[in-house]
Amino acid sequence: MKEYVGKDTEEERYEKGMILPSFVDGHAHGNLGGSRMLLMCSLNGSTTLEENRERLKAFVEAHPEMDVIQGIGWNDATFGPNGPTAAMIDDLTDKPVMLIDFGHHSYWLNSAAMKRKNITKDTPDVADGVIVRDADGNPTGCFREGSKIYFEDLVYHFSVEQYKKAVLAYQDVFLAGGVTMLFDPMVNMDYGWENLMEACRQLDAEGKLKIHLHGGYQVFVDKNPVRDVEHAAELREKYKGKNFAVDHIKILLDGVLESRTGYMNEPYSDSDDGYRGMLRFDLDTLAATVKKANELGFTTHIHTIGDGAIRVALDAFEKAGTVPDNRPALTHLQIVDPADIDRMAKLGVVVVANPFWFLKDPTYHQKLSIPYLGEERAENQYPMKAFFDKGLVVTQGTDYPVTLDISPLNGMQTAVLRYLPGRPETLLNPKERVNLSQMIKVATWNGAYELKCEDRLGSITVGKEADMVVLDSDITACDSEKIAAANVLGTMIGGEWVYTAK
């Protein structure tokens, strides 16, 4: 390095630790996390109805200026298959209340919210969602998946200025974790909602958006998704900037396990009628949407929890036709048929895994996984090594704020261990363990590859941009249970420090 040192060179010397390429989060709802921090009642970690009520009551009292109370983080495991009801919270406020579950697939409304949106016994069901009803057919206040259409203007709808504050708030969180690039799969909450994109455009133009932010425009089966892809192409040009780009199409193909809406090849274990979950797109519509995305130069990013959804997604990729170097992505992949991994490799699918979840959550596993999946499927959740063995490019995403600890080191550690440190009883599917060297590449170069930036980011290489992270310890030399204990001393983007530890 000495030949590059001149009179204006600043030297930073570290006696220990390590320098790595900065990290990439391949699937993080940054705006949702930022909004949650500043504008919503946090219910994450609540395990009882009373705890949910106490937090909501305190938030209502602290925010008299809000016309609609929004919150996030309640857990289906607290309430059972039918979820919570409006009656449980109606006494806390006469304002509309809309609370999102921790997985962002179910919604809890009070009676005031249902009244404002005129949701009644006569409100029709939707093809890609569930309105939970009582014995008389009245909505109880719990809504799943696509039923959000009836109240979507109550879900994450904030002003441009509010969103700008939220983006800066979550940017600080990610930069402190060494993350300098992320993919946000939902930069629109519904068709026609552009406040978040405008907020990102303004921050980019003002030089305040430091992180490399790639956005996914979400399309919906009931709103002409092919047309929506064409609309997304217009928005891509309207909002593109130095650090912000809307360059993906996001599709929710199924739901999630906890609400029994993840789409499976075989029925849920607690089902006596062959119920396999919810498929939100039929194959023909999905293939047509993917084909249009390919034609217009978008990368398709599809939410697939169940093995049934994965299979349909692969069928759609085949039917739509492949495009050279398109890099279609599947994310989550909780239940996977091993026979489909070869198909994924053949189609060049990028696996956007969530290693933060690769363990037996003490509550979730016993109350949901085993009853819904049975012992065998529950034990074989979240493969990882199988993808590497077939040569697929694997990246990692937090799904923030589903995962609140966004540290990529946490994801690396969990993928290596597959249990909580010091809690061997939480070990899940140990045959799918991977090594730390693989996970470092997952969080750096592979993430850049997912977002088509590996030519300039993802490694410390001559000619690339100087995006780097400095750790206070060498994670390759420590016990595997201590990987996540390393601290970020500094995060650099383009040769400039954007975070330094105090």
Model confidence, pTM: 0.88
Q: CATH 3.10.310.70: which residues of the chain?
A: 31-154
Distance CA 106, CA 461 (A): 44
The answer to whether 251 and 289 have CB atoms below 8 angstroms apart is yes
> What is the percent of the chain with per-residue pLDDT over 90, rounded to a whole number?
81
Write down the pLDDT at residue 211: 98
Question: Quick one: which of 470, 444, 466 has its CA closest to 19?
Answer: 470
Indicate the CATH number for domain 220-434: 3.20.20.140
The answer to whether 268 and 372 have CB atoms below 8 angstroms apart is yes
| Residues 345-383 pLDDT 10s | 999 999 999 999 999 998 889 989 999 999 999 999 999
| Residues 177-207 pLDDT 10s | 999 999 999 998 766 679 999 999 999 999 9
Q: CATH 3.20.20.140: which residues of the chain?
A: 220-434
DSSP state of 308: H
Is 31-154 a CATH 3.40.640.10 domain?
Answer: no
Write down the pLDDT at residue 192: 66
Point out which residues pair with 179 in neighbouring strands: 23
Write down the pLDDT at residue 33: 83
Helix (H, G, I), strand (E, B) or coil at 171: helix
Distance CA 225, CA 398 (A): 26
Distance CA 372, CA 365 (A): 10
Instruction: Name the least confident of 1-10, 294-303, 323-332.
Output: 1-10
Within 362-416, strands assigned E span: 394-396
Residue with tokens 């993808």: 387
Instruction: Name the least confident of 72-76, 368-372, 478-482, 498-502.
Output: 72-76
